[in-house]
Amino acid sequence: MKTFCGRANPATGALDWVEESEEYDYHQEIARSCYADMLHDHDRNEKYFQGIRAAVSRVKARGEKVIVLDIGTGTGLLSMMAVTAGADYCYAVEVFKPMADAAFRIVKKNGFSDKIKIINKHSTEVTVGLDGDMQTRANVLVTELFDTELIGEGALPSYEHAHLNLVQEGCEAVPHRATVYAQLVESEQLWSWAQLQPMEVDGCKLLPPPAVSHCAGAHSVCDIQLSQVSPHRFTPLGPLCTMFSVDFSKPVSSAPQSHSSSFPAQSSGRAQVVLSWWDIDMDPSGSIVCSMAPSWTYPDPQSAPWRDHWMQSVYFLPVERRVAEGEELSLTVSHDDYSLWYSLQPDGEAPPCRPCCVCQAHLVWTRTRFGELNDRQRTQSYVRALRSVVKPDSVCVGVSDGSLLPVFAHMLGAKKISVLIGEPYFSTSLLPWHSLYFWYCRTALVRLLTPNATILPCSATLCMVAVEFQDLWRIRAPCGTCEGFDVGPMDEMVQQSLDFRESHESEPQPLWEYPCRALTQPRAVMTFDFLQCVPEQPIRCQGSLPFTRRGRCHGVALWMEYQLNDDIKVSMGLTRPVSEEGACEWSLHRKQGVYFFRSPWESSGDGRASVSYSFTFEPSIGDIKMDFTVASQ
């Protein structure tokens, strides 16, 4: 049986419906999942194990049999922890069938089949009774239903249903409670992701339309690795506030609620952004805490645990507001059953409804796209390039999604079409080279261009560098054993899904959030000449790149650089030369491609080992096929 899947076509910019195997969707889900990241999260696993041991001990101290309900069991790890801690029986609920099957194999392999029952259902469909999925209600509730926003995976409705239907009154819960924290800040960098800002071109001020500048924006959370945003990039306007807590051992409501925290402003500034994260107490006393706080909140930032499945949240206020030092402020968080939003409200005033975009721009542009459009240095690079080619009688055609370049060209005096311009940027582009769609547009317009038409950018270059990741490698590394349990079947399932297609492809990652070291010199490997039309035949290149630094190579980072004219180049990857030690600084606006090696390679840095590469640009599909091998000379 086959299924149709939507896929962006880099050659046409359109969404194509492609016939795929019926297993394609779940292979994609598994291959791109965070399961490996969670299993590598020792801090999370250790805290859960401690909390489960304590909860089982409290129930046993009451002289009761320990019956555990584990909602969202995944690999079955938490259920195996519960049985190891002394639980009499566990009901492990997992709605995703491939994962439920893997949990069944893992539980069997570790010898817990007689104590753990895998239930492949959504928890709200689980029944209790002699003929039900569960023989009796549980007295210990164990869950991992959280995302970066805490409630975005439906934790509140699931807890609400479980307390009504699946667990005993007064049950123990692991985690016992969750607490959400927030801090009001001013940040030019982060606020540039929220609103289109005024800009200046040749002495003329360009203002965004009122519909855009007055729009509250989309309410969706911006989840990032906040540890990579330096405290120098924002100014706290208030203290870190405890916004609200949820006690999971008691009945939980998914009804909309609001919570406020009042404080005097610590400094004068523009209230723009709310930084937020949460922690979970695994026990009632709060002695076992798993925190999502960014590393710069720790006395020793290096001691902060790294995880990618739970990050931190950035929320943008509907409008920025000037505040004075000492002014009394009231920060309000509101939530429904799946999402949170923040507002700065006068005391006693009702909180606003969930914000929504009315200008459409926030529905079309991503947060980082707003940041890219607001990047003054980048804008000036394009304006300088345009100034060198636009004449009073020029006609400009802009080929990019939501680009301001045609506006800049008009302000510089363009009248007729003799200049083809692009950033390039297209909302359908997932990987860096997908923006080669600009080249296809240039080819389609060839008969409309004057013989001496200027193409800007005039060329693009694909670049690569072999890297050692500080932490990102965890999302693709097999686990083997986790907290003493064999999770090999999980590794096998992930690898099978990767081998289905994903292990032969790059994946998009915002590398500014994931520190890495270059173990080779960066290299330009393919150049695409936009002054010529797209060729009919494939473009191929191959070569090798020697390791020049000692380290563990996890894969290759790839990005595009665009030559605007002879003097001006814009990089969508490295924004500065690699440091002597190999430190890399990446663009904040675009994602780069990452090709993970199946196994890391230990580099001695003496140049005797190298990464061999092979690239093929296929004009018929607008994509690049690649292959890498590592070998010693």
Rounded CA-CA distance 493/253 in Å is: 36
**Which is the catalytic residue, given 46, 153, 505, 585?**
153
Report the alpha-carbon distance of residue 183 to residue 9 in Å, rounded. 41
> CB under 8 Å to 577, separation ≥6 — which residues?
none
The helix/strand/coil state of 81 is: helix
What DSSP string describes 307-335? -SSS-EEEEEEEEEEEE-TT-EEEEEEEE
Tokens of 416: 């007729």
- End-to-end, the C-alpha distance of the chain in Å comes to 47
Residue 144 bears catalytic tag = yes
Residue 218: how many CB atoms within 10 A of its CB? 17
Q: Taking Cα atoms as reference points, which of 428, 423, 420, 434 lies closest to residue 372?
A: 423
Q: Which of 144, 186, 372, 513 is catalytic?
A: 144
Q: Assess contact for 467 and 521: CB atoms under 8 A.
A: no
Residues 6+ apart with CB under 8 A from 571: 559, 561, 587
Taking the CB of residue 612, how many other CB atoms lie within 10 A of it?
Answer: 13
Q: Are 543 and 612 in contact (CB under 8 A)?
A: yes
10 Å Cβ neighbour count for 1?
Answer: 5
Taking the C-alpha atoms of residue 547 and residue 455, their distance in angstroms, rounded to an integer, is 37
Beta strands in 265-413 (DSSP E): 269-281, 289-291, 312-323, 328-335, 340-344, 396-398
Would you please indicate which residues are annotated as catalytic (active-site) residues?
Answer: 144, 153
